[in-house]
Structure 1
Amino acid sequence: MSSERDTTLAHNSASFDRPRGQNLNYLRRTASFLKPYTGHVAAAVIALVITGLSVLGLGQGLKGLIDGGFADGDTGALDRALYFLLGLSVVMALGTYARFYFVSWLGERVVADLRKAVFDRIVTLHSGFFETTKTGEVLSRLTTDTTLLQSVIGSSASVALRNLLNLVGGVIMLFVTNPGLTAMVLVVVPVVVAPILIFGRRVRKLSRASQDRVADVGAFAEETINAMSTVQAFTHEEVDKARFSVEVTNAFDTAIQRIRTRGLLMGLVILLVFGAIGVILWVGGHQMLAGEISGGELAAFLYYATLVAFSVGVMSEVYGELQRAAGATERLIEILECQSDIQTPPHPLPLPEPASGRVQFDQVTFHYPSRLDHAALSNFSLNIEPGKTVALVGPSGAGKSTVFQLLLRFYDPEHGAVMLDGVNVRDADPKAVRERFALVPQDPVLFGTSGWENIRYGKPDADDDAVRQAAEAAAAAEFLDKLPDGFATFLGEKGVRLSGGQRQRISLARALLRNPSVLLLDEATSALDAESERLVQAALAKLKAGRTTLVIAHRLATVVGADLIVVIDQGQIVATGTHTELLSSSPLYANLAALQFDVDFGRKEKLDARQAS
């Protein structure tokens, strides 16, 4: 099992077609999210410039303090220098506050918008996307990656811009202070920049790999937690602990590689920069002793040189953060650029009103994206009249669920047409098509909210009276009213506070509220006890009245009264008819019936014989 899950995780880690950028271009893609907030961007830039100029002005204040106050013994000059420095400090404090506020606000706002954009894209993607991508992988991008990006936009980007301004301004002031010594500084710049570029590219690749490994951890944990009862029932705890430990260790090892590379980059930059400052200070000291420059000029030059060196060092560190964020942004952009295979046509055909519920399959052939070598449906043709109840039966994997998937236009067939009320669903708006269906799955899906909202999921604008009527028709009101807060009771994640029968009745109430023209039942009672099945069957009878109903049936006893039974095998229709007709005309159906009914009938016959004797 571990090896299979290894393969699955590796497959899902590579499930996206990921372009490999070599720079920060992906970060620039987030600029579009800043456009609506140009006022805040402008305020942040103004504050940044003001604080940057204040920092540069400190050097001139230091020069005046030393040359005018200390060297000349002028107390007035000393006072003026002090006032100048204090004034700059106040400006820097106010500017720093404004910069921090506006930049942090932008970081939070942009990431909130980005998360919304990613989620909006996710919920529109086709089913094939989720067939090959783990939920944990998607959640990692939606949470971990966006959090990292928030840190960059709200902090690292500001630090980078501030230090870039200090670097450029510092170099200019170095030229103003002493051009000769500045030439020595510029000689060092290429030596410092080279390792930043070389190691930065390596950091970006490792950052991307680190995010992928974190996603693997989340994917494995999400899968295991969702199946905790199965894990414990099969005493698989120790195996999963070991497997999770491997995933965590992989993430740790990749992160350590990134940290080691970043640390080497930072250490190398600090060595080169401050080593150069030491040499420049030595040269400047000799010039001061020779009377070629004043003490104030040397102090100012040293201040600007230190400022430049510090800015380069910080930027090398921030560059690593930006590279890491570029890897996270790349992962987010992949989702934003992922296009759904199910697209609304430029000029969608309207579905006729009122809806009749006629369903047709015309020579449909379809392969799932993950199983291109096997046709789920092959030359499949079926015509269902409005208001009829049609049952789909056949062995597992025959293609029954695929019929539902194509009707709801989760996929498009490669050949043939799926028609609803005479319109090819490919030519209609997918939303308009799906609004005419209501699906009652075998495993009902409930959400972590109240009974009101779970039922209203079928029709979000329904009022409370309509919700209650649907609940009563589905025999759900009787147990919902007994809950601590009635319909407003929180039902737990996935409805864990309810029994299987109660969850199914809420699912039926949801379908009733939707009032569809076509009802899709995926063996809605197979997992229920006798009493729950009786209540659900009664609700189903109300739900099916006057509307087209398609039933996927594994238990033939639930569909013997269907208007038409369609026997499917290996993606093809092999027989159609009523229960009685198929018993004599379809060997496959007769065999399925024998496996189920003969056992029950045999027990009944034995019981009757005993009673007669």
Structure 2
Amino acid sequence: MSIEAESTFDVYRDRVDRPLYRLFTEYGLDKRPWLLVGMAANIVARGASLLPPLVLGIAIDAAFTGDQPYALPLVPTAWLPTTAPDVAQFWFSAWLIVGAFAVTAALTWVYGVAANNFAHRVMHDVRTDSYAKMQDLDMTFFDDKQTGEVMSVLNNDATNLERFLDDALQNSVRLGVMLLGIGVILFERNAQLALVTLVVVPGMVLFTYWFMRAVEPRYAAQREAVADLNTRLENALGGIQLVKTTGTEAYETSRVEDTSHDYFRKTLAMLRLNYVYRPGMELFAGIAFAATFVVGGLWIVSGSAPGPLTGELRAGTFVTFLFLTQRFVTPLAEVSNIVSQYENAKASCERVFGLQDIPARVTDAEDAVELDGVEGHIEYDHVDFAYDGEDDLVLRDVDFAVDPGETVALVGPTGAGKSTLLKLLMRLYDVDDGAVRIDGRDVREVTLRSLRESVGYVSQDTYLFDGTVAENIRYGRFDADDEAVREAARAAEAHEFIENLPNGYDTRIGERGVKLSGGQRQRLSIARVVLQDPDVLVLDEATSAVDTETELLIQRSLDRLAADRTTFVIAHRLSTVKDADEVLVLEGGEVVERGEHEELLAADGLYAKLWGVQAGEIESLPEEFVERARERQAELAGPSGDD
């Protein structure tokens, strides 16, 4: 499945302006001591690495041949040896070269440590801030966004930024220092030959500009392909049981192959430019070296300046030129890597800030208050709701009230809006019109944390983390002691099977609790809510994944949990809700019936028909009703997964 072309994420990503500048201003300023130390050490280290070729050339002309006095640029003559030039100047040059290599090594270590600290600290903050932002986003974002793409932002894109800050940034400084230092030394030694050596630089600049313009869109396309591939792999691995039980391994392999091939094509399209650029830069550098060798060599061999050149060229100066021109080749050839990392980081930076810029709509109001001392009076006041980007209302003019301690059952066909109705209570979504109130206070007026701490939610889709049984029960109440965890498990009819696990409460249950049965996972989720001890309880198909015997055990624990607290129950098995204080029957997002079980049976409406179906009385129903019910369920079953 391809990522939607113009999702909310795409829109905000495209709006990101100067992403790398923003990265430095938002994440780099408070870490700039590490950056500055790394930059300074890098500059001095690269400068020191240029000293040996310069000293070697001077030593050849002064200490070895005696053609000229021993002199170093910017160094006072009084500091240099002037006696016994064939010995003192030789050893001075030797120690100077050794010292230059030692300084280069030491400062290279310093800049490596500082640069890595800077890069990894930035990456850490980017990743954690992006995750925190993702946590704040509305459920609407997760309804539309694929997990693999979000994982790509949190992992791959953050890693790309770290590589840029650690490698490309420091290599850019190194390249700049090398080019500037080499240029200064060459011009100081012989300006005319330096012009010959550097004549290719304008061509290199134009070639680099073309490469950057051409490669940028290809990097953006590659990042999208990475996100698609991550999504495909995440979906395939997450549904491995379905794949195996349906024998569709070949089908899933072909889908991964198609997505991987798309990533391969886009990566290759990007690499093709690198295959042109890097050899092209090496060719330019090679031309510079060849031109230097030919012109300088003729100058030395003939003893006179060739062509329009004038003056004298000494052997030591020519050696310095050859060494430094070779130094010139390597950093220029690395420009392609720097540009690649820059474009990759720019694309990743746009995705990171695109995620961070998406506004969260369900947030605390500025004057939000804590919700405490909840009695449990719940009111839905003429509520309308539609999912973001959709025109059709999922809920329409829903209006009812629940007294403290009552149990209300929500029943109706698949897609009627039952789960969505209760998600509004917890502000997983906000109403489009009307209001949801707890104890007379609009849920939008209280803090999200206090609201959700007051509402316990047991979903039909039980989620457990990879960890121990105790850690999963304690989730949300991390300070609970072992005895409280055991008491919660007993209340959820889970203690006995937990004790029979290999390590009891310390048994690791695997990702999503794969080592447990559906009924065991459901009982752990109930134990988690028992430990939470909420004021309001929401049970969304809490017994949907268990057999009849387990359902009776769980129902007994749920009855204890629901006692003396306001409880909402969504159930397809109407036998589990017939004792509710009130039953609300939803169809097409509207409350079409309400009342107690016996009242609704006597009314002979939709509830009575649903009850009759489950009671085995399908034969007595008119054929037109069965057909209408089937058509209605098919019509209402939407992509939201709502029951």
Of the structure 1 ranges 140-149 and 541-550, higher mean CA displacement relative to structure 2 is found in 140-149
Q: Which moved more, 1:292-301 or 1:127-136?
A: 292-301
The residue aligned with 1:364 is 383
Superposition deviation, residue 92 in structure 1: 0.9
Tell me the residue number matched to 2:431.
Answer: 413
Deviation of the 1:391 alpha carbon: 0.5
Partner of 1:606 in structure 2? none
Task: Decide whether aligned partners of structure 1 residues 30 and 118 sit closer, same or farther in structure 2, where only a CA change above 3 A counts.
Answer: farther
Aligned AA for 1:202? A
Equivalent positions of 1:434-583 (< 5 A) are 434-583=452-601
**Residues 122-151 of structure 1 deviation map (CA, whole Å, 9 limit, x = unaligned):** 122110111111111111222222222222
Q: TM-score, normalised by structure 2?
A: 0.88
Partner of 1:299: 319
The superposition leaves residues 529-557 of structure 1 with CA deviations (integer Å, 9 ceiling, x where unpaired) of 12211110110011001100001121111
Conservation of the 8 A alpha-carbon contact between 2:197 and 2:291: no
Distance in 2, Cα, partners of 1:543 & 1:266: 69
Q: Which runs of 5+ in 2 are unaligned?
A: 68-84, 305-310, 621-643
CA shift in 2, pair 1:142/1:492, >3 Å: same
Asked whether 1:312 is paired with 2:332, we answer yes
Alignment CA distance shift 1:195-1:181 (3 Å): same
**What one-letter code is carried by the residue in structure 2 that aligns with 1:310?**
T
> Of residues 87, 106, 109 in structure 1, which corresponds to 2:99?
87
SS at match of 2:50: helix
Task: Report what 2:248 is aligned to.
Answer: 236
State TM-score, norm by structure 1: 0.92
Residues in 2 aligned to 1:18 and 1:323: alpha-carbon distance in whole angstroms = 19
- 1:287-436 maps to which residues of 2 (within 5 A)? 287-288=299-300, 289-290=303-304, 292-351=312-371, 353-370=372-389, 372-436=390-454
Call closer, same or farther: CA 1:325–1:164 in 2, change over 3 Å: same
Distance in structure 1 (CA, Å) of the matches to 2:500 and 2:509: 13
Take 2:90 and 2:7, find their aligned partners in 1: how far apart are those partners? 65
Aligned-partner SS, 1:387: coil
SS at structure 2 position matched to 1:158: helix
What residue in structure 2 maps to residue 175 of structure 1? 187
Is the Cα contact below 8 Å between 2:13 and 2:355 reproduced in 1?
no
* Overall identity of the aligned pairs, in %: 33
**C-alpha contact (below 8 Å) 1:167/1:307 kept by paired residues:** no
CA distance, structure 1, for counterparts of residue 350 and residue 214 of structure 2:
15
SS at match of 2:136: coil
1:39 lines up with 2:33 in the alignment: yes
Distance in 2 (alpha carbons) for counterparts of 1:601 and 1:507:
38
Tell me the CA shift for residue 320 of structure 1: 1.6
1:379-408 CA distance string (max 9 Å, x none): 111211111000111111111011121111
Q: Please report how far the alpha carbon of residue 60 of structure 1 lies from its aligned counterpart in structure 2 after TM superposition.
A: 2.3
SS of equivalent to 1:363: strand
Q: How far did 1:423 drift?
A: 1.3
Task: Give the structure 1 partner of residue 151 of structure 2.
Answer: 139
Whichever residue aligns with residue 117 of structure 2, its letter is: W
Determine the C-alpha separation between the residues in 2 that align with 1:393 and 1:472. 29
- Please say if residues 54 and 88 of structure 1, whose CA atoms lie closer than 8 Å, have aligned partners that are also in contact: yes
Q: What is the distance in 2 between the residues matched to 1:115 and 1:260?
A: 31
Cα distance in 2 for partners of 1:127, 1:272 equals: 54
Aligned residue for 2:63? 69
Paired residue type of 2:362? I
2:21 and 2:360 map into 1 onto residues whose CA distance is 24
Instruction: Write the letter of the residue equivalent to 1:421.
Output: D
Q: Distance in 2 between the 1:258 and 1:149 partners?
A: 18
| Whole-angstrom distance in 2 between the partners of 1:21 and 1:537 | 51
Alpha-carbon distance change, 21 to 183 in structure 1, aligned in 2, over 3 angstroms: farther
Q: CA RMSD in A?
A: 2.3
Moved more, 503-512 or 353-362: 353-362
* Structure 1 unaligned spans of 5+: 1-5, 603-613
Shift in CA distance, 426/586, structure 1 to aligned 2, threshold 3 Å: farther
Q: State the match for 2:125 in structure 1.
A: 113
Name the SS of the counterpart of 2:368 in structure 1: coil
Tell me how far 1:522 sits from its aligned partner: 0.5
The separation in 2 between residues aligned to 1:239 and 1:601, in whole angstroms, is 41
Q: Is the 8 A contact 1:216 1:247 kept in 2?
A: yes
SS, match of residue 369 in structure 1: coil
* Deviation at residue 9 of structure 1 after TM alignment: 4.3
Please give the secondary structure, in 2, of the residue aligned with 1:519: strand
1:163/1:312 contact within 8 Å kept: yes
Residue among 138, 143, 146 paired with 1:126: 138
Paired residue type of 2:335 = M
Secondary structure in 2 matching 1:521: strand
